Amino acid sequence: MSAPAATEFGRCRERLERAVGACRPAGDWAGNVSRTIAATIEFAAADPAAALTLTERASSRWREREPEFVAMVEHFARLLDRGAPPRNPRLPDAPAVVARIARQLNLQIEAGRTGETTELVPDLTFLALMPYLGFAGARQRAEPATAATLRSSP
């Protein structure tokens, strides 16, 4: 986990990392990715204000290389890459995937659809898996893993 947080962003990031850390690692890589995304979505649904702090202006913060945001993206990118099969170099790398997930989550929160965020789990899992497993492999793994993850959630 990161150093003690001195900012609101840092405090929110620590809470997200604790939520995600509770579900890693167990089982295969694709299952870990699905569980991590589900935990992130559950965190956002439970604390939309914290999720908004972490994801607001995601695209511009990434493009402008804002240090706190970049550090968070790189942390989660390392989790995505850990144990992953080789990535197709023509497709987005792990930091780009994580930044895109942050942006998609932000769109849901800003639209006031935090209660519907769990519906994003299959799509975001597919997005995360595709650079590593290809279209067919990501599609095959995203749906069943996501359904099992959501069924096992309290």
> pLDDT tens for residues 101-141?
999 999 999 999 888 888 889 999 999 999 999 999 999 98
Specify the 3-state DSSP secondary structure of 83.
Answer: coil
> pLDDT tens for residues 3-13?
445 799 999 99
Contact 141/27 with Cβ under 8 angstroms? no
> What is d(CA 42, CA 69) in angstroms, rounded to the nearest whole number?
20
Contact 117/44 with Cβ under 8 angstroms? yes
Q: Which range, of 14-28, 43-57, 71-85, averages the lowest pLDDT?
A: 14-28
Q: Is the dihedral of CA 123, 129, 134, 137 positive or negative?
A: negative
Mean predicted confidence (pLDDT) in 39-51? 94
User: What global pTM score does this model have?
Assistant: 0.85
> What is d(CA 74, CA 51) in angstroms, rounded to the nearest whole number?
17
State what percent of residues in the chain have pLDDT above 70.
88
> pLDDT tens for residues 50-72?
999 999 999 999 999 999 999 99
Q: How many CB atoms lie within 10 A of CB 152?
A: 9
The three-point CA angle 116-69-41 to 5° equals 20
